Amino acid sequence: MHDYFVPNRDDFEIIEKIATSNDDTSLVMLNLNTYAPEADYPNGALYTEWMHVLGMLIDQAGGKKLWQLPVFGQPIGSQELDEIIAVWWPSHSAFLSITEQPASEENFRLRSLCLKNAVLHRCPGDILSSP
């Protein structure tokens, strides 16, 4: 397992605490992805297959992909990045449920083949109008 697949334990504890509380709220996960050459982003078969399975997983867990954009460059800063994907989740518990969904195992298998690096940012989901 690569380091970028190891969850930030402190943040996952916060997510788990919120998910089991009476104050579970919606959230947006901002996925900052850099792809491995084998993924052949953006048109490769491996990448395309993962995006299909990821879409199924998001649907199964009750989320909604808000947008998905390629990164063309960085006028300020330095971070290798290919794509940003924003996913809205109705609750923290819905986000955590992705590991229990039928498409989960295949999603994480393809994810591990496609990604060179990934960073997820947890953002508030309740400031958006209906996704």
Tens-digit pLDDT profile for residues 17-64: 999 999 999 999 999 999 999 999 999 999 999 999 999 999 999 999
pLDDT at 1: 35
Provide the pLDDT confidence category of residue 2 given band limits of 50, 70 and 90.
Answer: very low
24-124, what's its fold?
Alpha-Beta Plaits (3.30.70)
Q: What's the token pair of residue 33?
A: 């992805």
Strands of the chain, DSSP E: 27-35, 64-70, 83-89, 115-124
Res. 4: pLDDT tops 50: no
CA distance 65 to 79: 23
Beta carbons of 122 and 11 less than 8 angstroms apart:
yes
pLDDT at 126: 86
